[in-house]
Each structure stands twice: as structure tokens, then as C-alpha cells.
A = this chain, B = another copy of it.
Amino acid sequence: MENFIINNPTCLHFGRGVISGLPPVLDKYGKRVLLVFGKNSIKANGVYDQIINQLHLAQADIFEYSGIKSNPVVSDVDAAAELGRKNNVDVIVAVGGGSVIDSAKIISLAISIKNNAWDLFEYKVKPTSAIPLIAVLTLAATGSEMNAFAVVQNDETKQKPGYFSPFIFPKHSFLDPEYTFSVPANYTAYGIVDLIAHALEGYFGKGETTLTDRFVFSIIKEAITYGPLLMNDLKNYDYREKIMFAATCALNGMTAYGKKTGDWGVHGIGHALSVLYDVPHGASLSIAYPAWMNYFKNRIEDKLVLFGKEVFNEPVPEKTIACLKNFFHQIGAPTSLKEIGLDARHKNEVTENLVFNKTTGDNFQMVQTDFENIFELMLN
């Protein structure tokens, strides 16, 4: 293994009714609350009312910023940060999936700095603190509830970079599987894809590990076992719970212990599809991961053999890739560009975006010809 540090200070509250633990947490951080959420789904499913009820119990002053997009944009971050600054908020409560929590992380930094949020992504400013962030998760997917990463896109520059800061671990995260009951089938499937992709980004990262690999397989097996059951029974608490917890574990550190870095090349490709064509993040990954595996299959043969044996009881790399693709298909996630209405005519635009953004994998590096070849493999 490479030398590594484990340092994850997020306090995660998991299970039915955990939101009742919100008021005592607010007692620690303050009562002027910037409440950040997405569209109106949390109003339709009752989650909004539950949160407001808890905030009232905590005697909080609430300042709302809603409308965070599922592919979140930096203009929302700036507007929310401005609202937070103006009202001198003590704490952010982010209610949503990764897009909302990621946005809230950048908002929590941006409130402290005078600059625009995008200056963070361009490393023009180095934050030294952040407003405390509390996350309430309503979508099992990104693991943002227990890590210090955030991804936000810039629609003007067509960039979708990631950002890391030790200050943006949520202080507390509340995960009630019931809060995900109303997630529709397609986004449920994208979440399952996303968690598998996160585990794989660790697995294909730099550095040989063995126990960490076992954790990766554990998480993916959990997703592959219970994902299809959940897709057939979207309001089943047990299945929602299993997928929700697997998603947290897939990106809270344990899939990369002892790695120098994860790979993250597939995420780079996925981000290009999202920023150019508003493809949901998980859908971009179910298309890109099998293609990436196919393209690199000779270089990653040993890892594919081990992954295949452990997860699919299948030692042949090509068949393992087919198993993964079939699984994505089975749960309703797209596995080709064709399915989302893209074709060979989009090749240049995608490739140019990837080159422009200096996309690469941290372990398996990619340049323009690699992108072109992987694009071809994504087509059908």
C-alpha cells in the first residue's frame, strides 16, 4: 500500500427518523440557517415539512435557497452564498442529493471568501475556513454526505471540475432511507451506477491494496445484489437502506485506503457528457465505464480478472465487462450514447471538451486519441 491518512470527521446519523437529531446539532452551530435544496420534490414528498418542523423546534431563523439543478451550476452557488453572507448565517442545512450537498459545500467556502465561487476551482483563492454544513440526504448516490469533495459545473465555460477541501466535510449528515422512497426509477438506477463507479474509481487507482479491494467488492456486490430488488420495489425500506449505506461507503474513503489516488478518468468522461448535454451523472457513468474497461482491458487484465471472479464469479475479462453492462441495463441505466440520443456527430465536441478540460485518469492517463477511441466504444 501507499502511505495514507484516514481522517473523516463527519458524524453520520443513519436510520428511520434520525432527523429528530437535527435540533441538538443546531444548538452547537447556531440558529441562522441557510436552507439549500433543489426543486420541489422535497415539498411533494413531505421531507421539506419535516425539516422545517425540526428547524422550528430548534427555533432557527431560516433563509431558503432553492432550485439547485441536478447537474449543479456555479451561478447558483454564488447566488446562495450571497444570500448567506447578507443574512450572516451560522450554518447551512443542505437537503438533497449530491448536487445539493456539493453545491452547499462550495457555498460554505464561498460565504467565507469575498471572491466568486469559481475562483476556488481556479485556485485563485485558498480558503481557511467554511461555514458548518449539515446534510440531509434524499438520494443515494454520490457519497457527498461523508466526504470533502464537491463537483459543480460552469455552463459558460463548459467545465465541471471537482474540488477538495478538508473544511467541507459535512459536520453531521442525516440519512433516513425513507427520504429516498420517492426517488423515481431512473434516478434510483443512476445512484446505483454512481456508487459502483465510485468503488471502481478507487479500485483502478494507483497503488496495490488487498483489504481495500475486498471492501470495493463488498460494496459492489451489495449494489448488485440489492439494486435489482430495489428497482422492483422502490418503497422497500430494507432495499433503500442497503443502497443508501453502500453509496456512503463507496466514497467515504474506504474504497481508496492505501491508494495514492483513485483513477477518476471515467468520471472525467462522464462530466463532459453532463456539461455538454445535461446527461444525468449516473447515466453518463453507465455508458462510460464499460467502454473505458473495454478500451483498457489489456492494461487492466489482472484487475478485471479479480473483479470478475469476486463480483460476478466470472474470470474472463470480456465477459465481466459484459456482466457489468448487462447489470446496468437490467436496472434501466443506459449503456450507450445511442440510448441518450447521441451519435458519431458528437464525437468532436466531446473530444474537444475533454482535451480543453485537460481530462485524464490519475492512474490510466488519457489523451485525445484515447478519448476518440473510447467515444467509439460508447456509441452502441
Residues of A within 8 A of B (CB): 1-18, 146, 210-211, 214-215, 217-219, 221-222, 225-226, 241-242, 245-246, 249, 254, 257-258
At the interface, is chain A mostly helix, strand, loop or mixed? mixed
B211 touches A249 (CB 8 A): yes
B8 touches A15 (CB 8 A): no
State in angstroms the CA–CA spacing of A248 and B293 once bound together.
Answer: 33
- In the complex, 25 of the A-B residue pairs with CB atoms within 8 angstroms, ordered by the A residue number, are A1-B14, A1-B241, A1-B245, A3-B13, A3-B15, A3-B16, A3-B17, A4-B14, A5-B11, A5-B14, A6-B10, A6-B146, A8-B8, A210-B225, A210-B242, A211-B218, A211-B222, A211-B242, A211-B249, A214-B221, A215-B218, A217-B218, A245-B257, A245-B258, A254-B254
State in angstroms the CA–CA spacing of A116 and B294 once bound together.
Answer: 65
A244 to chain B, nearest CB (A): 10
Q: How many copies does the complex hold?
A: 2
Most chain B C-beta atoms within 10 Å of own C-beta, residue among A1, A5, A6: A6
A54 to chain B, nearest CB (A): 16
Residues of B within 8 A of A217 (CB): 218
Residues of B within 8 A of A225 (CB): 210
A329 to chain B, nearest CB (A): 24
Residues of B within 8 A of A210 (CB): 222, 225-226, 242
State in angstroms the CA–CA spacing of A166 and B13 once bound together.
Answer: 16
Residues of B within 8 A of A218 (CB): 211, 214-215, 217-218
Nearest B residue to A246, CB-CB: B211
State in angstroms the CA–CA spacing of A241 and B241 once bound together.
Answer: 33
Please tell me which one of the listed residues B2, B16, B17, B249 contacts residue A15 in the complex, with CB atoms under 8 A apart: B2
Residues of B within 8 A of A3 (CB): 13-18
Nearest B residue to A245, CB-CB: B211
A8 to chain B, nearest CB (A): 7
Closest 6 CB pairs of A and B: A3-B15, A214-B218, A6-B12, A7-B11, A211-B222, A9-B9
A6 touches B1 (CB 8 A): no
State in angstroms the CA–CA spacing of A146 and B7 once bound together.
Answer: 11
A6 touches B14 (CB 8 A): yes
Most chain B C-beta atoms within 10 Å of own C-beta, residue among A221, A226, A249, A254: A249
Residues of B within 8 A of A242 (CB): 210-211
